[in-house]
């Protein structure tokens, strides 16, 4: 059992889609995290689920660690190869496979980024709402159970993923969940895989729940005298059932940072940044209620 034997096996079918160049190792040994870089022994760029399965099977036989890689924007160092091995970069598996507009779902490959997906969906009047700030890959977002500024309205990746295709640690390819909205048979393996950070398998396909692009969007920036006032406003807003699309808290120090960096001209006080989605009438009503 050795990493070198595993890499020779991978080279035989990946060819130049397996790299050991210093540049590729360094680029995949560091992410947005503050932890120290940890480069892998090699980087693989598969193009199909079957290739991913073969990579994992060979690596499992040779005891070679395998780490998934989306866009490397995760902050907790999960994408670093702390024990070496092969980083599987999903950049070449970045296609929209099937848009089911009437059912409001879409089947995609894991390397597709959320912004690219929403560009592809533009003509359908639908969008995928989970927004972690970075233009992350959908496979990486599912693996970290990403959330973001729209979570208060649309939920996290836990709510957005309906079904998955996954390569397990021994190279077996399985499917979890389905496009049906409800199923009460069997274990909820989709929920188990979402958030498992690549430890239970590599995601090779995702079915995602879509939402209608809102007819109207309005936003507001509200300054508060103190933090308690801002926090109480959030609690009362949620409890009174006002449908917020975004509600973000900014403390006084962050408002100052915005001013210094971008000349935002905000009072140096706690703020809430809010957004409402819906029909023009609904948005006006929500904004008035919030006010
Ligand atoms: C400015 C900024 C703001 C952010 N804000 C938020 C936020 O508000 N909320 C939030 O949740 N996150 C936030 N993040 C973190 C980050 O965007 C998410 O963790 C993102 O979901 C990771 O996606 P990725 O494609 O970059 O994955 P990577 O960083 O490449 O990988 C993340 C994890 O998923 C695994 N993985 C990747 N692809 C697969 C796959 N196909 N199958 C199995 N495992 C895989 C990796 O091994 C690793 O464990 C922010 C990041 C930045 C830089």
The verdict on 176 and 195 lying in the same domain is yes
CATH number at residue 263: 3.30.70.3450
The verdict on 135 and 188 lying in the same domain is yes
CA of 142 to the centre of ligand 1 (A): 8
Q: What is the mean pLDDT of residues 251-259?
A: 96
What pLDDT band is residue 95 in, cutting at 50, 70 and 90? very high
Q: Whose CA is nearest to atom 19 of ligand 1?
A: 74
> Which ligand 1 atom sits closest to the C-alpha of 147?
11
Range of 82's domain? 3-91
What pLDDT band is residue 263 in, cutting at 50, 70 and 90? very high
What pLDDT does residue 268 have?
96
What pLDDT does residue 274 have?
96
Read off the pLDDT of residues 20-41 as tens digits, 9 standing for 90 and up. 999 999 999 998 888 999 999 9
Q: What is the mean pLDDT of residues 43-63?
A: 98
Residue that finishes a domain, picked among 58, 73, 91? 91
> Which ligand 1 atom sits closest to the C-alpha of 68?
47
The verdict on 274 and 285 lying in the same domain is yes
The verdict on 223 and 280 lying in the same domain is yes
What pLDDT band is residue 183 in, cutting at 50, 70 and 90? confident
CA of 187 to the centre of ligand 1 (A): 25
Residue that finishes a domain, picked among 91, 122, 147? 91
Q: Percent of the chain having pLDDT more than 70?
A: 100
The verdict on 134 and 66 lying in the same domain is no
pLDDT value at 185 more than 80: no
Residue that finishes a domain, picked among 91, 114, 131? 91
CA of 73 to the centre of ligand 1 (A): 5
The verdict on 58 and 31 lying in the same domain is yes
Q: Which residue has the higher pLDDT, 241 or 54?
A: 54
CA of 139 to the centre of ligand 1 (A): 8
Buried-state track 198-229, b at ≥16 Cβ within 10 A, e below 16: bebbbbbbbbbbbeeebeeebeeeebbeeeee
What pLDDT does residue 75 have?
92
What pLDDT does residue 186 have?
84
What pLDDT does residue 31 have?
83
Q: What is the mean pLDDT of residues 178-183?
A: 81
CA of 181 to the centre of ligand 1 (A): 26
Q: Which residue has the higher pLDDT, 140 or 32?
A: 140
The verdict on 87 and 109 lying in the same domain is no
The verdict on 155 and 201 lying in the same domain is yes
What pLDDT band is residue 184 in, cutting at 50, 70 and 90? confident
Q: Whose CA is nearest to atom 6 of ligand 1?
A: 132
CA of 146 to the centre of ligand 1 (A): 7
Q: What is the mean pLDDT of residues 196-201?
A: 97
Number of domains in the chain: 3
> Which ligand 1 atom sits closest to the C-alpha of 141?
21
Task: Give the binding-site residues of ligand 1, using a 6 Å CB cut-off.
Answer: 31-32, 67-75, 78-79, 90, 110, 132-134, 136-137, 139-141, 143-144, 146-148, 197-198, 202-203
pLDDT value at 180 more than 90: no
CA of 80 to the centre of ligand 1 (A): 12
Q: What is the mean pLDDT of residues 77-105?
A: 96
Mean pLDDT of all residues belonging to the chain? 95
CATH number at residue 19: 3.30.43.10
What pLDDT does residue 269 have?
97
Give every CB contact of residue 207 below 8 A, 6+ residues apart in sequence: 105, 106, 107, 161, 162, 163, 164, 177, 178, 179
CATH number at residue 170: 3.30.465.10
pLDDT value at 173 more than 80: yes
> Which ligand 1 atom sits closest to the C-alpha of 75?
15
The verdict on 78 and 161 lying in the same domain is no
What pLDDT does residue 181 have?
77
The verdict on 24 and 87 lying in the same domain is yes
């Amino acid at each position: 059992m050795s990493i070198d034997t595993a890499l020779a096996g991978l080279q035989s079918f990946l060819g130049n889609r397996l790299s050991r160049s210093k540049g590729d190792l360094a680029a995949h040994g560091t992410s947005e995290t503050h932890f120290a870089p940890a480069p892998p022994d090699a980087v693989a760029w598969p193009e199909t689920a079957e290739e991913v399965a073969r990579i994992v099977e060979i690596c499992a036989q040779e005891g070679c660690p395998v780490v998934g890689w989306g866009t490397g924007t995760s902050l907790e160092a999960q994408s670093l190869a702390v024990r070496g091995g092969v980083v599987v970069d999903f950049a070449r598996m970045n296609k929209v496979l099937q848009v089911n507009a009437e059912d409001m779902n879409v089947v995609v490959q894991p390397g597709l980024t959320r912004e690219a997906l929403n560009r592809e969906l533009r003509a359908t009047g639908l969008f995928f709402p989970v927004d972690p700030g970075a233009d992350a890959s959908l496979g990486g977002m599912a693996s970290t159970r990403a959330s973001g500024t729209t979570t208060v309205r649309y939920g996290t990746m836990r709510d957005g993923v309906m079904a998955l295709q996954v390569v397990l640690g021994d190279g077996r390819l399985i499917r979890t969940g389905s496009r049906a909205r409800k199923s009460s048979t069997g274990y909820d393996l989709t929920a188990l895989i979402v958030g498992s950070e690549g430890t239970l398998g590599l995601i090779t396909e995702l079915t995602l729940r879509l939402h209608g692009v809102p007819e109207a969007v309005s936003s507001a920036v509200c300054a508060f005298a103190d933090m308690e006032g801002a926090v109480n406003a959030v609690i009362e807003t949620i409890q009174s059932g006002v449908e917020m699309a975004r509600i973000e808290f900014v403390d006084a120090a962050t408002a100052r940072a915005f001013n210094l960096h971008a000349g935002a001209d905000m009072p140096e006080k706690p703020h809430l940044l809010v957004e409402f989605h819906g029909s023009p009438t609904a948005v006006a009503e929500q904004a008035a209620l919030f006010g």
